[in-house]
Structure 1
């Protein structure tokens, strides 16, 4: 019974991570989607602030002492938390991208990504008796060539 629960929890976590990665890809690869989310935040901010002021206004005067007695105050706090989470997501995404401007990081990332394939290739070479390529790992991957490719934005948004 416990094993079934653990398996179910692992599957739920895996599904959540897949959904998070899909959303991350959609938002980070499309300036249009990012702009629409920003516009949505602006509209919701206006509505919440308007309702906040409306609730505080009594006889054409704002009664500030009632600020924490009304629902819009708490909705604004919750809304601020959501904006923080979204901005944190954007910040982390941009920081992940800037890591790739560092040649050493890119070299390590590419080597890590290719490591399983290279190990299999080396195992095959060992079985075949070829040991010439073992000291040429760095020569297999030309990082400078990878980083100097023309990767300019062509203005094509992906939706």
Structure 2
């Protein structure tokens, strides 16, 4: 599921979706104006009665949902441009696994691992 979501955020796919949405919105808006025009007069009072209005509404909701997901994904990626955040993220992911490894080694009686563990943790904290 995660892999499929990432495909939607591929630059080529984003460009194709944007281009397609421009074409679709143009066609829908033209259809809308055509449907509410009677003998060259735009009948704004009929806007909610035509199908194209509701298609535009659904289309806007779909575009909004896609763009809000795109925004959230880009905000997540943006965090990794920050070196401090990356370092903290790496430590939060690695430290528990490293601690568990050395805990098991020391429990097996490999007390020499304690000194190595201290060195590894010290290096990670710099």
TM range (shorter): 0.7 to 0.9
Please state if 1:25 is matched with 2:9.
no
Which residues of structure 2 form unaligned runs of 5+?
Answer: none
Equivalences for 1:60-79 in 2 at 5 Å?
A: 60-79=40-59
Give TM-score scaled by structure 1 length. 0.68
Which residues of structure 1 form unaligned runs of 5+?
Answer: 1-17, 143-159
Per the TM alignment, residue 119 of structure 1 is displaced from its structure 2 partner at its CA by: 2.5
Query: Please, what is the CA RMSD of the aligned residues?
Result: 2.0
User: In 2, are the aligned partners of 1:56 and 1:63 still within 8 Å (CA)?
Assistant: yes
Residues paired across the two proteins, number: 122
User: In 1, are the aligned partners of 2:28 and 2:56 still within 8 Å (CA)?
Assistant: yes
- What whole-Å deviation, never above 9, does each CA across 1:124-159 have from its counterpart, x for those lacking one? 3323113222364251377xxxxxxxxxxxxxxxxx
Structure with bigger helix share is 2
Per the TM alignment, residue 42 of structure 1 is displaced from its structure 2 partner at its CA by: 1.1
Instruction: Label 1:69 to 1:138 Cα distance change in 2 as closer, same or farther (>3 A).
Output: farther
Query: SS in structure 1 opposite 2:60?
Result: helix
The aligned residue for residue 140 of structure 1 is 124
The aligned residue for residue 157 of structure 1 is none
Over alpha carbons, which structure has the higher Rg? 2
User: In 2, are the aligned partners of 1:99 and 1:105 still within 8 Å (CA)?
Assistant: yes
Give TM-score scaled by structure 2 length. 0.83
- The structure 1 segments of at least 4 consecutive aligned residues displaced by more than 3 Å after TM superposition are none
